[in-house]
Amino acid sequence: MSGVAGQVTSIRGLVCEVTLVGTRPEPKELLTLADDPSVVLEVIDYPNAFTARCLNIKGSPKVRRGSSVVQTGTTITVPQGRAVLGRILNALGEPVDGGQAVGGERKSIYQPSPPSDGFVAKPEVLETGIKVIDFFAPFVKGRKIGIIGGAGVGKTVLTMELIHNIAKDDTKLAMFVGIGERIREGHELYETLKERGILERTTMLMGQMHETSAMRALVGISAAAVAEYFRDQEKRDVLFFVDNIYRFIQASNELATTIGTMPSEGGYQATMFSDLRRLQDRLSSNQNGSITSVQAIYIPADDLSDPAVQEIAQQLDSTVVLSRSVAESGIRPAVDLIRTASSLLSPEIVGDRHYVLATQTQAIMQKYDSLKNIIAIIGKSELSPDERRDYERAQKFIQYFSQSFHVAEDLNGQTGEYFSLEQTLQGVEEILLS
């Protein structure tokens, strides 16, 4: 402990004000109660020279007016090193899996964004074994992929399958960051990874639905600090899965409302762009290693034009859009083949053969979308032979890109499937020649 800071004089939700009696604490410094060090308060600003406004990160009810507060001289830190593998931690680096506290070196979660040193990694495509992603939204090392969809269309299951298929590679480490999601989903993922022997190469950080907005807003930044260790110190490639990045913005918005800042015109916090950018910039590659990020994005009310969804999508290289209408038709994964897009689908990255096949398939799917309306009015028999052939090919593509998942075997009784990129490309060629 660094010394007495002062006394709590007012409380409003998670925000409390401390009247200072000694040295003014630094921004982001942690204060604790003199009689209970487990309670942490983070300094957020200074209303005047003699007062520090703090955030009761855990929402502890032990914080009361008149409580004595002491300085710690530190900010929020998370453990570093291999001891975090196979563990579930919260935003403060504390275990939530019932195990012992993780010892060893710790690092502040507040690190500057990496400098732009001109490093450009050679594009390296990672095979996921999921046909629709490998074909329409190639998984490139060091880049960011978004999985967009409303509630109940399969974002979490698709994320779990990606972890299962890619993290089984011994050369890679996986991190799963749960932001504002259900406790049940985190438990199911933990058990799935444990059963399939992937847990020892995975770290999970959870800021779950029942936790305070402060814990949910901080867990992504804490996870980035853990990922940076493996990238920079162990020179590993890290797969960084986020479920759900929209909840990060939502938690930050709740926090901004609690603190009392003015919202923007869209209803979100005025700092939405910088909050998101600060996290995304840290999920990057350098000469040591890479952080490849897959981020599930919840769409409120299935509205793709929501300001937060638009802001997130702008910072991603690829977006896989999950559709409720596709899900209702029984296709899994429920990917909208027309709206799914990637800036990485270029000849320089995926090769000429893949690029040409993807372009031809997208053209057929676009034509299918327009033909659906015509068929609804005049019927399929009125189409020209070429139109009818393209329409039937599109229907074959919709069925072809459905796939059984390994992580869903216990739910649907169907054996999980893994398709190499070569198998996927051959299947597309067969449909195009049909």
**CB-based contact 82:200 (threshold 8 Å):** no
Distance CA 20, CA 241 (A): 41
Distance CA 219, CA 244 (A): 11
Which residues contact residue 95 at a Cβ distance below 8 angstroms, ignoring those fewer than 6 apart? 87, 88, 89, 101, 102
Residue 380: active-site member: no
Classify residue 95 by its DSSP letter: B
H-assigned helices in 8-49 = none
Q: Other C-beta atoms within 10 Å of 147: how many?
A: 32
**CB-based contact 246:309 (threshold 8 Å):** yes
Given 62, 182, 235, 372, the catalytic residue: 182
CA 366 to chain centre: 29
Residue 372: active-site member: no
Structure tokens at 328: 């209702």
Taking alpha carbons only, the member of 253, 299, 259, 254 closest to residue 272 is: 253
Distance CA 52, CA 42 (A): 10
Distance CA 176, CA 376 (A): 44
Given 155, 247, 282, 332, the catalytic residue: 155
* Residue carrying structure tokens 């403060």: 92
Residue 235: active-site member: no
Phi/psi at 378 (nearest 5 deg)? -110, -10
Given 181, 185, 228, 311, the catalytic residue: 181
Distance CA 260, CA 201 (A): 41
For helices 245-259 and 272-282, the axis angle rounded to 10 degrees is: 130
Q: Which residues are catalytic?
A: 155, 181-182
